[in-house]
Amino acid sequence: MRLIMLGAPGAGKGTQAKKIAEKYSIPHISTGDIFRANIKNGTELGKKAKTYMDQGLLVPDELVCDLVVDRVGQPDCEKGYVLDGFPRTIPQAESLDAALKAVGSKIDYAIDVDVPDENIISRMSGRRACLKCGATYHLKYAAPKKEGVCDTCGEALVLREDDKPETVQKRLNVYHEQTQPLIDYYTKAEILVTVDGTKDMEEVFQAITEILDK
């Protein structure tokens, strides 16, 4: 079961990826984790990636793909894996397909957690954080006992820059521009499945498992 998770920032795809990994005992793989592990272990690929990151440059698609293919070739991925955050663009998707094909493998499903922009903006702009102890809240789903005050340490809660509606909209625009074409790409490949990400987290998960258990 080799899966790719798609979905806009804030759609909840990371949460679903973790739940899938847990249920089916397969690794949840994010590119950030791969970068960190390779850099920490001083691998050749890690050293190459670090030279770009140290200069504040994006790691080239080819190198990112090499890192991902190296990771999914490890023994714990024999039964499958969930890729979260990769591929982000068509060239990355094409590189991944070619690299997997070369080792006799392929992606089984690309799962799109579909949530309209306005829902994501509403979700994220409702978040509040305590900068002192790191606790997080949501005005609608997990409100603090006292408005604007952290339950844990009593400090004032703030709306982080990343969660402001205008910042969220910018990130969504980038997502639609770069990653939306992947929806078409995997639709053509006949492996795209779409789930309604506006539903309760458990309902979304149930919809995904129904597809995977067919």
Residue keyed to tokens 């779409």: 194
Helices marked H in the chain: 13-24, 31-40, 44-54, 61-72, 90-102, 117-125, 165-178, 180-188, 201-212
Identify whether 128 is a catalytic site residue.
no
Instruction: Determine which one of 2, 13, 19, 71 is catalytic.
Output: 13
Q: Are 102 and 94 in contact (CB under 8 A)?
A: no
**Catalytic one of 71, 123, 127, 128:** 127
Q: Is 114 left (phi over 0), alpha (psi -120 to 50) or beta?
A: beta
Question: Which of 18, 88, 164, 199 is labelled catalytic?
Answer: 88
Look up 171 and say whether it is catalytic: yes
Q: Is 123 a catalytic residue?
A: no
Q: Is 79 a catalytic residue?
A: no
Looking up tokens 């957690």 gives 113
18, 48, 50, 160: which one is catalytic?
A: 160
Tokens 């795809």 found at: 13
- Cα–Cα dist 208/214, whole Å: 10
The whole-angstrom separation of Cα 11 and Cα 194 is: 12
Give the residue numbers marked as catalytic. 13, 88, 127, 160, 171
